[in-house]
Amino acid sequence: MSFIELSASISVSLIGLSILIIFIRLVIGPSIEDRIVALDLLSANAIAFIAVYSIQSMTTTFLDVGVILALLTFLGTVAFASYLERSTRK
């Protein structure tokens, strides 16, 4: 087992653990802002998971999925921020 394979395996397990912890925060978050941040962080970890899986499988086709997920996450975060800003003005 090479260094790259070992580090990719460790990275997958650590990213999986962090996704579990973030999901718990998403469920028990006391406010909507906490849940939005947890959802944004969850998608960032999903992008990292996709990147590490792409390295493990030695293919670049999954990186396109990561880029699309990053764009959708950015748009979703901006939409949530806009919604929260409008709701606090009233």
Could you read off the pLDDT of 22-64 as tens digits, one per residue? 999 999 988 888 898 999 999 999 999 999 999 988 888 889 9
Q: What is the extent of the structural domain holding 12?
A: 3-89
Q: For residue 89, is pLDDT > 80? A: no
How many domains, in total, are found in the chain? 1
Res 81: pLDDT: 86
How far CA 85 is from CA of 34, 41, 71, in Å, comes to 15, 20, 21
Can you tell me the distance from the alpha carbon of 43 to that of 45, in angstroms, rounded to the nearest whole number?
A: 5
Global confidence as pTM:
0.85
